[in-house]
């Protein structure tokens, strides 16, 4: 074994052993291997007893030196090999410890731990790691759905762990953040998010030999992640346990409340005293439903559109109105719905309520105000509609008039 | 004033007759307008069937006229969905085909030798005109005849309705919207009058709706909901009892005659609301009778409480047992996605991928309704001011249909009659008030007379008149404003009809380099090539969009078509189309396919070809 090789191996080994073997002290290799080259001078200079011994034992000093060297290399070799197999188990134990420490079983890795668990150990490693690449600064971009995917990833991880009764050592779930560990991102060659990679036991080069999940598979969230895991690692994830919307106790409480209160409610309905009998409540409810539907709120809910977008060119400006038919932003929809409702209600107000006002001047002012506001609102909506869709609506005059 | 020596006296009409003449002439003009505004594509291109689905309807109508009703009812089609075939008689809604065939027979009886294709192309505009008449009567029922006239005009040109009833769009909705409005009108009339005859008529109207469109589920859920609201707000009456019972029982029995519907009225979860409300009505009737027999109110209250609790509990248990044992099937995916709109996106991609099922942005509402969106809240307010059984119904219809229109673009069609009716109420009431103001000067001199209802209002307005000299001018200005708005609405509707909704998707038009119009008839030429140059038993594989057109025009067997009833078969075809050639060849050979049809639009910039899909 060449000394250079030895030094390189042992430096990496010393790094490993320094982190995981904190309970071990005075490892015979440790102190000697800080700088491997110092082995020989130590022997010659700092151990006069050995020289004495060799002299007393009447062994020639060179052979003593050779004997000691071979002894040390042999012990080194043994130590390394046992340390290697030992440290594999230690790594797995470390991973399991990290997993149990973390919330819901997703281990948070950074540059250091990536090196410890992935780049340093020799292949074949006894485990594979499924890594979710994240970046907190991009959480606000809704088209990436990073928060949602992260939650789904957590669900897959926790389902996997519970389905294997906490005795799993083959597959670990981890995530890694961009700001903390930029070099790891570079190591993996990740430059777009969302990104999920599976690092198998035999993958040497993290960039080329780790398996990436397809972009198109993200749409089915946890189910597609589970399928990816199962197809590449031949380990079953099992059923995914999603938390129900209402827990059992909440549901039970609601049902009990309903049952208890139903006779009282029925009696009140027959007596005609409830809030439901007031027509004004129904009117407000009706106008609200109308406002909700017409402003395209269902579209926003289904497509999960944000209230406003940040202008790409100028980060300080906010875009409230989306140009282009068929899609809309949240605030835009509500603004337009509000304008519709205002005009309709003003018309009703003028026709019915204004008649009761006694003061003639006030009536006139109110009517003029209503007319102006309605006119402005209608014009605004028409202008917005033309700007958004780009249609130029015109009448059809006979061509001989042009 | 009538004078004795007026030569025109025999021709001078009384006011009532003048009014009748004006009304009838307006209705005739609206009828004609509704028909001709849908004829743009017939004038520009030719009289042909548009889109994809109407081709299947045309083919079945052709079969019906050639082979008679019983062969049509028992038809097994071996030319589509090879090798599975399709039981046509049991998987379609026959209303449209039977209607067109009847019109065809009638015209032939009168010795007009028209081709069935012409009848099919013009069925939808004809029924749109009939819808305007029904809208007039419905408006008259809810408010007054002025509102009815405005409703007829608004619905004649509303783009939301025109989009699915243009000449050439031979689809279920063209007939179904007429049936929907007709059923609703008959039911509201039955509730108002409480007569069994109108209830019977509404049951038959419901039967026609069930035979015409799958959207009848909307009726069978809206009407029970309406009855429930009436019961809760304390408007239970004998009229309601008679109307609902007659309509529900007879309508259910008649609906079971359609094989596609079958026993769903007693087995499917979507129809259980109607049954529940039916039993609740019996409970209410029983309670009413007991109240009538008992003279002790305290005892009656106790009895009331016990009965209601028992009834609700019994209903809940029955429903639970039915659903748990599987006898009552849960809501199907298509309708469940209306209640939980994110359901289709996550679980049923094929429903979420249909372009008609996308959620609606506000610009789509504006495109289809224009000025009516502003008038709708005003109309709501007016309805609430004059609450009656009929106005409650129209408010509920309007709100539920607007909510569903927000979920799916296609359902703007269902919301259109409600929006037109409610906006008509607003317009009619406003115009009426304004014109009363304008004409109040004439009534000042007659303030002493005992002329009917408007005298009190006229007197108060007259007294105000003296204090506000600008009131008449203000009213005049507002009236002009209202008419200007309505004229803008008409312009918008005509433009939208001409530019957006009159294109037959099977013939494409584009602007050439010099601005000249270039017409592509590639689809029909390709299908005709198939018809002429391939053996009669050849099987053609294509994406499911073109299935109906290939069978109708090319007359060849297809593997999958627009019915999309077998998702696995469609998935197989999709897999064949997107795999590498050697894998795809294996799949294609296993399906026994002879020809593959692919649509490519790259050179002309056609955006909905197979590559984009």
Output the domain CATH number for residue A196.
3.40.30.10
Between vectors from CA A102 to CA A100 and to CA A105, what angle results, nearest 5°? 70
pLDDT given for residue A317 in this prediction = 74
Question: Which structural domain, as residue segments, surrounds residue A222?
Answer: 106-233
Beta carbons of B381 and A277 less than 8 Å apart: no
Contacts of residue B342 in chain A, CB cutoff 8 Å? 301-302
What does the CA dihedral A47, A48, A54, A58 come to, rounded to 10 degrees?
180
Average pLDDT across chain A, whole number: 71
Q: For residues B294 and B297, give the distance between their C-alpha atoms in angstroms, rounded to a whole number.
A: 7
Does any CB of chain A come closer than 8 Å to the CB of residue B399?
A: yes
pLDDT given for residue B313 in this prediction = 86
- pLDDT tens by residue, A3-53: 333 333 333 333 333 333 333 333 333 333 334 333 333 334 344 444 444
pLDDT given for residue B307 in this prediction = 83
Cα separation values, A214 from A205, A227, A228, B580, Å: 19, 12, 9, 19
Q: For residues B466 and B477, give the distance between their C-alpha atoms in angstroms, rounded to a whole number.
A: 19
Cα separation values, A389 from A30, A386, B122, B332, B366, Å: 73, 6, 31, 35, 10
Q: For residues B4 and A102, give the distance between their C-alpha atoms in angstroms, rounded to a whole number.
A: 105
* Helix then strand then coil, % of chain A, to nearest 5: 60, 5, 30
Cα separation values, B122 from A332, B129, B505, Å: 40, 11, 17
Using the predicted structure, report yes or no on whether residue B107 has a pLDDT greater than 90.
yes
Same domain (yes/no): A223, A297: no
pLDDT given for residue B243 in this prediction = 95
Q: Are B406 and A293 in contact (CB under 8 A)?
A: yes
Higher pLDDT, B1 or B376: B376
Q: How many folded domains does chain A comprise?
A: 2
3-state DSSP of A109-160: ECHHHHHHHHHCCCCCCCCEEEEEEECHHHCCCCCCCHHHHHHHHHHHHHHH
User: Does A256 map to a domain?
Assistant: no
Does any CB of chain A come closer than 8 Å to the CB of residue B326?
A: no
Share of chain A above pLDDT 90, in %: 0
Cα separation values, A70 from A48, A53, A66, B220, Å: 19, 17, 6, 94
Phi (first) and psi of residue B370, to 5 degrees: 50, -120
CATH topology classification for B519-596: Rossmann fold (3.40.50)
pLDDT given for residue B217 in this prediction = 92
Q: Are B427 and B375 in contact (CB under 8 A)?
A: yes
**B443: Cα separation from own chain's centroid:** 44
Provide CB contacts within 8 A for A234, sequence distance 6+. Answer: none
Provide CB contacts within 8 A for B429, sequence distance 6+. Answer: A351, B143, B147, B382
Sign of CA dihedral B131, B137, B143, B144: positive
Residues shown for chain B:
613
Split at pLDDT 50, 70, 90, the class of A81 is low
Split at pLDDT 50, 70, 90, the class of A1 is very low
Using the predicted structure, report yes or no on whether residue A156 has a pLDDT greater than 90.
no
User: Does A125 map to a domain?
Assistant: yes
Q: How many C-beta neighbours within 10 Å does residue B545 have?
A: 18
Across the interface, of B342, B374, B464, the residue whose CB is closest to A378 is: B374
Same domain (yes/no): A177, A287: no
Across the interface, of A279, A293, A371, the residue whose CB is closest to B402 is: A293
Q: For residues B26 and B152, give the distance between their C-alpha atoms in angstroms, rounded to a whole number.
A: 9
Higher pLDDT, A357 or B240: B240
Q: Are B252 and B246 in contact (CB under 8 A)?
A: no
**B91: Cα separation from own chain's centroid:** 21
Cα separation values, B92 from B99, B171, B330, Å: 14, 12, 22
Same domain (yes/no): A226, A290: no
Higher pLDDT, A12 or B221: B221
Between vectors from CA A6 to CA A4 and to CA A7, what angle results, nearest 5°? 65
Contacts of residue A302 in chain B, CB cutoff 8 Å? 341-342, 345, 359, 407
Beta carbons of A296 and B362 less than 8 Å apart: yes
Using the predicted structure, report yes or no on whether residue B219 has a pLDDT greater than 50.
yes
Contacts of residue A352 in chain B, CB cutoff 8 Å? 381, 385
Beta carbons of A270 and B304 less than 8 Å apart: yes
- pLDDT tens by residue, B452-511: 333 334 334 444 444 455 677 778 888 888 888 888 899 889 888 888 888 888 888 777
Higher pLDDT, B10 or B551: B551
Across the interface, of A286, A348, A381, the residue whose CB is closest to B399 is: A286
- CA-based end-to-end distance of chain A: 98
Beta carbons of B363 and A337 less than 8 Å apart: no
Least confident of A313-327, B29-43, B129-143, B304-318: A313-327
Same domain (yes/no): A225, A285: no
pLDDT given for residue A217 in this prediction = 64
Helix (H) or strand (E) holding A107: strand A106-109
Q: For residues B563 and B544, give the distance between their C-alpha atoms in angstroms, rounded to a whole number.
A: 8
Most confident of A22-26, A215-219, B46-50: B46-50
Average pLDDT across chain B, whole number: 85
Three-class DSSP category at A310: strand
Using the predicted structure, report yes or no on whether residue B58 has a pLDDT greater than 50.
yes
User: Does A42 map to a domain?
Assistant: no
Higher pLDDT, A33 or A121: A121
A residues 347..386 contacting B (CB < 8 A): 347-348, 351-352, 360, 363-364, 367, 371, 377-378, 381, 385
Same domain (yes/no): A285, A364: yes
ipTM of the complex: 0.76
User: Does A223 map to a domain?
Assistant: yes
User: Does A52 map to a domain?
Assistant: no
**B546: Cα separation from own chain's centroid:** 26
Does any CB of chain B come closer than 8 Å to the CB of residue A295?
A: yes
Beta carbons of B363 and A388 less than 8 Å apart: yes
User: Does A303 map to a domain?
Assistant: yes
Using N-to-C axis directions, what is the helix angle for B196-212 and B238-255, rounded to 10°? Answer: 40
Phi (first) and psi of residue B527, to 5 degrees: -65, -40
Q: For residues A341 and A339, give the distance between their C-alpha atoms in angstroms, rounded to a whole number.
A: 5
Most confident of A234-238, B43-47, B122-126: B122-126
Least confident of B75-89, B137-151, B299-313: B299-313
- CA-based end-to-end distance of chain B: 73
- DSSP one-letter code for A103: G
Provide CB contacts within 8 A for B304, sequence distance 6+. Answer: A266, A267, A270, B287
Does any CB of chain A come closer than 8 Å to the CB of residue B469?
A: no
Three-class DSSP category at B186: helix
Residues of chain B with CATH 3.40.50.12610: 519-596
What is the arithmetic mean of pLDDT over B193-207?
Answer: 94
Q: Are B83 and B541 in contact (CB under 8 A)?
A: no
Least confident of A131-145, B143-157, B187-201, B346-360: B346-360
Q: Are A283 and A271 in contact (CB under 8 A)?
A: no
Q: For residues B378 and A352, give the distance between their C-alpha atoms in angstroms, rounded to a whole number.
A: 11
Residue B569's nearest CA partner among B88, B82, B56, B78 is: B82
Using the predicted structure, report yes or no on whether residue B443 has a pLDDT greater than 60.
no
β-pair partners for A310: A318
Least confident of A81-95, B115-129, B485-499: A81-95
pLDDT given for residue B305 in this prediction = 78
Q: For residues A218 and A145, give the distance between their C-alpha atoms in angstroms, rounded to a whole number.
A: 10
What is the arithmetic mean of pLDDT over B25-29?
Answer: 96
Contacts of residue A328 in chain B, CB cutoff 8 Å? 361-363
Same domain (yes/no): A126, A216: yes
User: Does A99 map to a domain?
Assistant: no
Q: CA of B377 to nearest chain A CA: how many angstroms apart?
A: 5
- pLDDT tens by residue, B297-350: 787 778 877 887 888 888 888 888 887 877 777 777 667 777 776 666 666 666
3-state DSSP of B361-405: CHHHHHHHHCCHHHHHHHHHHHHHHCCCHHHHHHHHHHHHHHHHH
Three-class DSSP category at A317: coil
Three-class DSSP category at A324: coil
Same domain (yes/no): A229, A110: yes
Higher pLDDT, A214 or B44: B44
pLDDT given for residue A184 in this prediction = 81
Same domain (yes/no): A229, A295: no
Using the predicted structure, report yes or no on whether residue B606 has a pLDDT greater than 90.
no
Phi (first) and psi of residue B508, to 5 degrees: -110, 150
Does any CB of chain B come closer than 8 Å to the CB of residue A269?
A: yes
Same domain (yes/no): A304, A227: no
Three-class DSSP category at B565: coil
Q: For residues B427 and B417, give the distance between their C-alpha atoms in angstroms, rounded to a whole number.
A: 15
B residues 238..257 contacting A (CB < 8 A): none
Q: Are B491 and B36 in contact (CB under 8 A)?
A: no
Q: Are B307 and B315 in contact (CB under 8 A)?
A: no
Residue B555's nearest CA partner among B542, B537, B573 is: B537
Residue B435's nearest CA partner among B478, B487, B497 is: B478
- pLDDT tens by residue, B236-295: 899 999 999 999 999 999 999 999 998 989 888 889 889 999 998 998 898 888 888 877
Q: CA of A335 to nearest chain B CA: how many angstroms apart?
A: 10
pLDDT given for residue A10 in this prediction = 34
Beta carbons of A286 and B384 less than 8 Å apart: yes
User: Does A243 map to a domain?
Assistant: no
Q: For residues B389 and B227, give the distance between their C-alpha atoms in angstroms, rounded to a whole number.
A: 10
Residue B462's nearest CA partner among B476, B478, B441 is: B441
Q: How many C-beta neighbours within 10 Å does residue B480 have?
A: 11
Q: Are A304 and B413 in contact (CB under 8 A)?
A: no
Using the predicted structure, report yes or no on whether residue A138 has a pLDDT greater than 60.
yes
Q: Are A332 and A307 in contact (CB under 8 A)?
A: no
* Helix then strand then coil, % of chain B, to nearest 5: 70, 5, 25
């Amino acid at each position: 074994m060449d000394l250079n090789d030895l030094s390189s191996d042992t430096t990496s080994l010393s790094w490993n052993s320094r982190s995981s073997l904190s309970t071990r002290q005075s490892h015979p290799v440790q102190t000697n291997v800080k700088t491997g080259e110092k082995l020989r001078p130590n022997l010659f200079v700092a151990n006069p007893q050995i020289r004495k011994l060799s002299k007393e034992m009447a062994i020639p000093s060179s052979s003593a030196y050779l004997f000691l060297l071979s002894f040390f290399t042999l012990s080194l070799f043994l130590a390394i090999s046992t340390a290697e197999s030992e440290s594999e188990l230690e790594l797995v134990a470390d991973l399991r410890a990290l997993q149990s420490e973390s919330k819901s079983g997703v281990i948070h890795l950074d540059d250091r731990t990536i090196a410890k668990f992935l780049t340093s150990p020799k292949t074949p490693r006894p485990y594979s790691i499924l890594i979710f690449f994240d970046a907190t600064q991009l959480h606000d971009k809704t088209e990436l759905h990073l928060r949602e995917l992260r939650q789904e990833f957590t669900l897959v991880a926790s389902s996997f762990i519970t389905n294997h009764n906490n005795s799993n050592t083959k597959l670990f779930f981890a995530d890694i953040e961009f700001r903390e560990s930029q070099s790891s991102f570079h190591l993996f060659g990740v430059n777009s998010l969302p990104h999920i990679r599976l690092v198998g036991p035999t993958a040497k080069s993290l960039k080329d030999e780790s398996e990436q999940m397809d972009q198109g598979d993200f749409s089915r969230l946890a189910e597609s992640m589970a399928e990816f895991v199962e197809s590449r690692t031949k380990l079953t994830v099992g059923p995914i346990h999603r938390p129900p919307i209402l827990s059992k106790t909440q549901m039970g409480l609601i049902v009990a409340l309903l049952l208890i209160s139903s006779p009282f409610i029925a009696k009140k309905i027959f007596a005609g005293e409830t809030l439901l009998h007031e027509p004004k409540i129904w009117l407000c409810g009706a106008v609200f439903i109308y406002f909700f539907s017409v402003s395209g709120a269902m579209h926003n809910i289904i497509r999960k559109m944000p209230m406003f977008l940040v202008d790409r060119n100028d980060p300080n400006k906010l875009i409230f109105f989306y140009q282009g038919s068929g899609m809309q932003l949240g605030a835009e929809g509500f603004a337009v719905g509000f304008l519709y409702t205002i005009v309709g209600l003003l018309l009703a107000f003028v026709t019915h309520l204004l008649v009761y006002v006694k003061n003639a001047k006030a009536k006139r002012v109110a009517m003029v105000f209503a007319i102006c506001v309605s006119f402005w609102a209608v014009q605004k909506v028409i202008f917005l509609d033309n700007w958004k869709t780009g249609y130029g609506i015109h009448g059809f005059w006979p061509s001989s008039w042009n | 004033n009538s004078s004795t020596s007026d030569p025109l006296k025999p021709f001078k009409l009384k006011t009532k007759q003048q009014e009748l003449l004006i009304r009838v002439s307006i209705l005739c003009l609206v009828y004609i307008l509704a028909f001709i505004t849908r004829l743009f594509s017939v004038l520009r291109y030719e009289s042909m069937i548009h889109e994809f689905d109407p081709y299947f309807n045309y083919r079945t109508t052709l079969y019906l006229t050639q082979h008679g009703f019983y062969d049509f009812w028992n038809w097994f089609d071996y030319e589509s969905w090879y090798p599975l075939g399709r039981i046509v008689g049991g998987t379609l809604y026959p209303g449209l085909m039977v209607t067109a065939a009847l019109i065809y027979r009638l015209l032939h009886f009168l010795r007009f030798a028209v081709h069935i294709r012409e009848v099919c192309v013009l069925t939808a505009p004809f029924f749109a005109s009939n819808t305007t008449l029904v809208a007039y009567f419905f408006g008259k029922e809810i408010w007054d005849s002025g509102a009815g006239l405005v409703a007829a005009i608004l619905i004649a040109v509303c783009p939301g309705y025109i989009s699915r009833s243009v000449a050439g769009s031979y689809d279920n909705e063209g007939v179904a919207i007429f049936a929907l409005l007709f059923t609703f009108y008959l039911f509201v009339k039955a509730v108002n009058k409480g007569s069994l005859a109108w209830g019977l008529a509404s049951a038959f109207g419901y039967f026609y709706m069930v035979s015409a469109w799958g959207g009848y589920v909307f009726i069978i859920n809206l009407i029970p909901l309406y009855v429930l609201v009436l019961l809760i707000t304390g408007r239970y009456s004998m009229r309601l009892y008679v109307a609902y019972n007659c309509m529900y029982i007879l309508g259910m029995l008649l609906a079971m005659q359609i094989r596609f519907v079958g026993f769903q009225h007693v087995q499917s979860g979507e129809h259980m609301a109607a049954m529940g409300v039916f039993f609740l009505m019996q409970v209410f009737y029983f309670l009413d009778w007991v109240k009538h027999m008992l003279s002790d109110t305290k005892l009656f209250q106790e009895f009331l409480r016990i009965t209601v609790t028992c009834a609700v509990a019994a209903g809940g248990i029955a429903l639970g047992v039915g659903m748990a044992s599987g006898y009552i099937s849960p809501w199907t995916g298509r309708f469940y996605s209306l209640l939980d709109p994110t359901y289709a996106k996550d679980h049923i991609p094929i429903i979420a991928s249909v372009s008609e099922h996308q959620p609606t942005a506000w610009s789509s509402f504006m495109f289809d309704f224009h000025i009516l969106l502003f008038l709708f809240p005003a109309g709501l307010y007016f309805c609430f001011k004059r609450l009656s059984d009929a106005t409650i119904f129209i408010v509920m219809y309007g709100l539920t249909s607007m909510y569903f229109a927000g979920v799916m673009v296609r359902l703007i069609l269902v919301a259109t009659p409600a929006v037109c009716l409610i906006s008509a109420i607003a317009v009619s009431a406003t115009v009426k008030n304004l014109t009363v103001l304008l004409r109040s000067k004439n009534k000042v001199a007659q303030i002493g007379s005992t002329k009917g209802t408007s005298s009190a209002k006229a007197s108060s307005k007259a007294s105000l008149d003296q204090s506000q000299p600008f009131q008449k001018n203000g009213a005049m200005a507002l009236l002009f404003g209202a008419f200007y708005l309505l004229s803008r609405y008409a312009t918008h509707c005509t433009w939208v009809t001409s530019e957006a909704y009159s294109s037959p998707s099977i013939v494409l038009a584009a602007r050439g380099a010099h601005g000249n119009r270039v017409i592509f008839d590639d689809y029909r030429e390709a299908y005709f090539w198939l018809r002429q140059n391939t053996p009669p038993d050849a099987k053609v594989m294509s994406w499911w969009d073109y299935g109906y057109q290939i069978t109708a025009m090319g007359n060849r067997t297809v593997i999958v078509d627009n019915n999309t009833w077998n998702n696995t078969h469609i998935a197989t075809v999709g897999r064949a189309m997107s795999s590498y050639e050697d894998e795809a060849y294996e799949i294609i050979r296993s399906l026994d396919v002879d020809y593959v049809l692919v649509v490519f639009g790259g050179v002309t910039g056609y955006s909905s070809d197979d590559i984009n899909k």
